[in-house]
A and B are shown apart, each in its own frame.
Chain A
Amino acid sequence: MGFREALDSGKFLITAEIGPVKGTEIDGLLEDAELIKGKVDAINVTDLQSSVMRLGSMAVCHLLKDRVIDPILQMTCRDRNRLALQSDLLSAWVLGIRNVLALTGDHPTLGDHPQAMPVFDLDSVSLLRVIGRLNEGFDMQGNQLKGAPDFFPGAVVNPGADTEAAFEMQIIKMEKKIEAGARFFQTQGIFDLDLFERFIKRIEGFKIPVLGGVILLKSAGMARFMNKNVAGVFVPESLIKEMEETKDKVKTSIEIAARLIKGLKNLCEGVHIMAIGWEKRIPMVLEEAGL
């Protein structure tokens, strides 16, 4: 059962995320994927995450497909203009990729090639619209395609936006993304379920499946770093303390993630697990969460 079918079935969705390496050694990556295969409904493959030049998302998605894992192709607007984006989408389709997550993308200055020209010819909203048009058999100029894809498009939202204006703009943009064709949302990592519940209440009317983001906490230091540097991530002091005081960081990390997943189960349609190097531990998390 693919991701789209899983979603349609109404089951509690589980996706995980893996990041391609900088280089051509893909054994570790595929090993991780094999480990979580069958336990998740799809695996997101990031697109030059943090603007660091690395192996592309499309190739890895294709390899996952070969291993009968349903991939979600993450596609950012940072590096390609509308010609390249459309062309890559068609390429992805013929390589068997069915799910696309449209994102804006980080700015190149944050990565390892800060001199690069930022493209952002389209934004995430217009990219979703383009995907829709391709599905209809047309490019964005209205030219007819010879053979059309049928992508299942998704988008992201940051429920933890830290100011009123930022939060409201997230909601406004989310609405636009739905209008542009997004069929599901994956969110930034959630640590405060109360805050998330408020967000969910706010978007109730949108009637759109949301997969709440779950980041595996590796240490108290990591939590603090994210609080300071990662937009929309807020790890409450109680969790930081828990990580600080534990003797078995891995165990506690898994417990926390499982707890969050249990909580999310009552609030949204699924979870999206960002293990950030701890992909091998995803099965344990799921087990602990009773999934």
Chain B
Amino acid sequence: MIVAEIKPFGEIKDILKGYNKVLIVGCGTCVTVCMSGGERQVELLASALRIARKIEGNEITVGERTILRQCDPEFIDQIKDEAAQYDAILSMACGAGVQGITERLGSISVLPAMNTTFIGVSDGQGTWVEVCTACGDCILYKTGGICPVARCAKGLINGPCGGSQSGLCEVSKDNPCVWQQIYARLVKLNLLHSLKGMSQPKTWPVHPRRLVREDLRLKKEPTKGV
């Protein structure tokens, strides 16, 4: 899932300066799961904004909507008519969601309320960890299913830097050295040999990436004679 966190309130308030009718749009998928941009947060942010602007003597009208996904135009269409009544949309989705709405509803400002942080997994209640960078060239088969690209501070793919202490990363003592985790895992799986041999430097992706699956698309013209 994509993990995101809500921006500091002050920043959101600054972003909305000059707008008096704003529709906050929550996203019902990743950011709801990571508890930052779902219906509950929309309700809370809306109320907080109304109070804050009232205190400033500059009242704001805030609408509240949450759609299942902001990364699919069909869902965005569900708010099309409503959005037309506002000066701006404050999206509580990841960056993809913000741009999803921007693309679909061209004529209205779409502003981000969130900072998109990473692709991650849940690590117990209220905790998420980054585990994938979407590098586009998966090497997890070599590393016991634990990704050093995402989980080593330096993204080293040929072993640790040697800076760990007591099994913890030199960059942040909150993180274990992923290479030691990989080692332990491979020992457990009796697959230590998969570390042998040099991993070639990665081919870094070119942004923006686009995935076109011709096999999924309707053929344009039937081929003659087939």
Contact = CB atoms under 8 A, between A and B. Distances in A.
Interface of A: 77-78, 82, 104-107, 109-110, 118, 120-126, 129, 140, 156-158, 161-163, 165-166, 168-170, 172-173, 176, 179-180, 188, 229, 231-232
Given A126-B198, A163-B167, A176 B153 contact: no
A122 B201 contact: yes
Contact of A166 (B155, B180, B199, B200): B180
Given A121-B201, A163-B180, A104 B165 contact: no
Given A165-B184, A169-B183, A121 B204 contact: yes
Contacts, number: 105
Nearest to B156: A123
Contact of B180 (A104, A107, A169): A169
A13 to B, nearest CB: 21
Contacts of B183: 165, 168-169
A109 B159 contact: no
B94 interface: no
Nearest to B160: A169
Interface in B171-186: 171-172, 177, 179-180, 183-184
Given A104-B154, A107-B154, 11 more contacts: A82-B201, A123-B154, A123-B157, A126-B200, A129-B198, A165-B180, A169-B180, A176-B158, A231-B162, A231-B163, A231-B170
5 contacts: A82-B201, A161-B162, A165-B184, A229-B165, A231-B162
A125 B167 CA distance: 22
Nearest to B185: A165
Given A129-B198, A163-B167, A123 B204 contact: no
Contacts of B199: 125
A161 B179 CA distance: 13
B99 interface: no
A120 B163 CA distance: 15
Contacts of B172: 109
Nearest to A157: B162
A158 B153 contact: no
A162 B183 CA distance: 14
A110 B171 contact: yes
B191 interface: no
Given A107-B170, A158-B162, A118 B198 contact: no
Contacts of A140: 201
B161 interface: yes
B180 A125 contact: no
Contacts of B179: 165-166, 169
Contacts of B159: 123, 125, 169-170, 172-173, 176
A48 to B, nearest CB: 15
